[in-house]
Amino acid sequence: MHVSPQPSFRRRNNNYTVPVKAMVCSTGGATPKSGKYKITTYRREWNGLQGDVYGQYATQIVGNILFHSVPYTAKNNASLEYWEYDKLGTDASMGCVRLTVRDAKWIYENCGAGTQVEFYNDSNPGPLGR
C-alpha cells in the first residue's frame, strides 16, 4: 500500500516521485487486493468497529474499509488489545487496514479527503518494494 499526502514533496508529471512513509499494517479478507481509491471526508478520533471494539484515528478509504489503530476494548488508551498489536504485519483484520496509533494518527492528520490510496498485490509490490 502507498499513501501520498496532500502537500507536494517531489512531483513529476502530477505524480509523487518519492514515497513519504512506510507503515507496518494488518489487513484481512475484505481488504482490496489492488486498485486506487481516494480517502473520503469520514474520519473519527474513536470509531466503533465490528466485534464491540474501537479503533483510534479512523479514516475511511472506501465503504467499510478504514485506516485505524489496532483495536481497543473501550474508548480509552488503557484498553489497547496488545495481542492484536502483536499481529501487525500479518493477515489479522476483517478488511480494514490496522496500524499503530502513531501511524493511524499520521494518516488522520496528514491525508485529507481526496488523497489517493493504492493497494498492491504481491506480484506488483509498489514503490517501496513491499
Where do the H-state alpha helices sit in 19-123?
Answer: 82-85, 101-110
68 catalytic residue (yes or no): yes
Q: Give the strands of the sheet with 2-3, arranged side by side.
A: 2-3, 116-119, 35-38
Where do the H-state alpha helices sit in 13-112?
Answer: 82-85, 101-110
96 catalytic residue (yes or no): yes
Catalytic residues: 68, 96
